[in-house]
Each structure stands twice: as C-alpha cells, then as structure tokens.
C-alpha cells in the first residue's frame, strides 16, 4: 500500500531524479491517457465512467512498463463529473502501485489561497488526486505558482510549467517582450528552481514538439535550465523523433516525448498497444 505523510515524503527521491532514472531505464516516452469520446467508441466502450476506467487501466497495463511516465488528460475525466474524477483517483493510485510515474495534465494556475488549494489537491501526500507531477499555467505570473512549487519540493514531486506551446494563439503571449520574451523568462525562472539539483531538476517545462525555430528565435537555452521537458506533439500532431532532436538540440537528452493518439488508436488490444509504444520509442534517436 502506498505510503503517505511526512515520512513517505522524506524517503521519496526528488521527482527529477526519479524521472531521469525512468528515462534512462525505459526510454524517453510519455504515454498520454486521453479517453476522448471518439477513442472510447473506437474501442467499443461506452462514453461513461465504466468505459473511462476500462480504457485508462488497459492503457496503463499495456504500456506502463515501456513508458517513463504516463499523462492522463484531466479534462477528459472531469467531463464525466464526480464519477470521472473517481476513475482518475483510481488510475493515479494504480500508477503508484505499478511504479509508473504519473503526470496529471491539469494546467492549473491561480493566485493565493486558490493556488494553494490546487497544490494541495495534486501534490500533497494523502490527497486522493496526488500525482507524481502536475502541469501548471504561469500566466498569472510565475510566482503565482509558488504554493505548488514549494509543496512539490517538500513532497518530492514535480511540476511542468507551460513555457512555449505550439498552438498558433500561444505566440501572442509567449513570444512577447522587448528584451526577453515571456517564454524565455519562464524558462529562466524554472532554471532558478532547478539550481543545485544533482541530476535532472524537478521543475519541468512544457515545450511543444512542433515549435520549430522558436527556441532559437527567442534565444532560449533549454539545456541550461536542467529541466525535464514535456514535449507534446509527437506522432499524430506531426512531429517526428528527428524533429525533436533538431528542435531541442543540446537539451534533447532531457526531453520526455509525449504521444497519445498514435499509441491509443492501436487499442483495445494490449499487444497492439505495446507494439505501438515500442514503434514510437524506436523512432526516438539516441541522445
């Protein structure tokens, strides 16, 4: 049974160190667990809590030993209300029991006591929604995330902060700045959080796999940040493993390449899911 509380947190290695070990052992794949209605239908499952649970646990069982981490998309559980969130709680607990790192893709961000409550939900030992890490949005100011940053550090968990996303609208915020762009300043802030980490830092960044030349154009040095880089966009969104190597350059060894639909469309057969995950891993060049 998973440990909770202060003693468990003291014995838990920092998230960055655990992720580095998982990436070195299993490879740099993050498997998305995205129970879209269309995928549920393609798997012959109902669009309800029972279908959601069957889908999610099947993915975990099939690819958990191949992926450095799995990333459930929280919104696709929330759409089922309390029953969906209960499934997410069971999935996160199953990840812990299976020894698979979890990234709750919640993109939370707020100020003051509200941000503290989000941190408590996703990062506190003993919370039913506790994940190994959670995605955060810094666009109310990076320091608005302080409750989550501090609690993650205290419990040996991690965060992934939205830095440079590949959606067209992102540039209108992330690329802005007379001297340093908003995205560059977020990377700088993450680098400061990771200073002194013995291996990989625990404050990660979300950088889209399809951002192209934006990192160079904005003079962003990801390697210096010592941050795990969650890179969505591999496969169905168009990015290849070679694209990742070129885009991230010296930071490529820290990239956790995320694939969802390209793997999930192979289900519900577990062997087919494993084969799809293996093909994805094979397509990622060695650092």
Supply the residues annotated as catalytic.
Answer: 107
The residue count of the chain comes to 287
Q: Which DSSP symbol is given to 6?
A: H
CA distance 82 to 95: 20
CA distance 225 to 184: 11
3-state secondary structure of 147: helix
| Whether 175 contacts 219, CB under 8 Å | no
Q: Which DSSP symbol is given to 110?
A: -
* Residue 120, phi then psi, degrees to nearest 5: -60, -40
CA distance 46 to 87: 14
CA distance 143 to 256: 25
Q: Which helix (H) or strand (E) holds 29?
A: strand 29-33
């Amino acid at each position: 049974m998973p440990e909770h509380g202060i003693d468990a947190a003291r014995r838990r290695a920092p998230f960055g160190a655990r992720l580095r070990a998982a990436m070195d052992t299993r490879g740099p794949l993050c498997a998305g667990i995205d129970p879209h209605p269309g995928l549920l239908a393609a798997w012959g499952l109902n669009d309800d809590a029972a279908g959601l649970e069957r889908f999610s646990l099947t993915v975990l069982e099939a690819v958990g030993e191949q992926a450095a981490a799995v990333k459930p998309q929280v919104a696709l559980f929330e759409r089922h209300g309390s029953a969906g969130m209960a499934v997410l709680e069971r999935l996160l607990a199953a990840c812990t029991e299976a020894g698979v790192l979890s990234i709750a893709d919640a993109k939370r961000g707020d100020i003051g006591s509200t941000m503290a409550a989000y941190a408590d939900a996703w990062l506190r030992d003993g919370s039913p929604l506790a994940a190994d890490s959670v995605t955060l949005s810094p666009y109310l100011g990076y320091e608005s995330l302080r409750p989550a940053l501090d609690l993650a550090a205290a419990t040996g968990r991690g965060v992934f902060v939205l830095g440079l996303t590949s959606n067209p609208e992102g540039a209108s915020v992330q690329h802005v700045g007379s001297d340093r762009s908003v995205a560059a300043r977020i990377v700088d802030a993450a680098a400061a959080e990771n200073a002194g980490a013995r291996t990989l830092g625990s404050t990660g960044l979300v950088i889209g796999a399809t951002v192209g030349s934006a990192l160079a154009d904005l003079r962003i040095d990801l390697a210096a940040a010592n941050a795990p880089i969650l890179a969505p966009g591999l496969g169905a969104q168009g990015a290849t493993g070679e694209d990742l190597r070129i885009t991230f350059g010296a930071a490529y060894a820290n990239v956790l390449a995320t694939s969802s639909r390209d793997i999930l469309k192979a289900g519900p057969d577990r062997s087919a899911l494993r084969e799809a995950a293996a093909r994805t891993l094979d397509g990622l060049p060695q650092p």
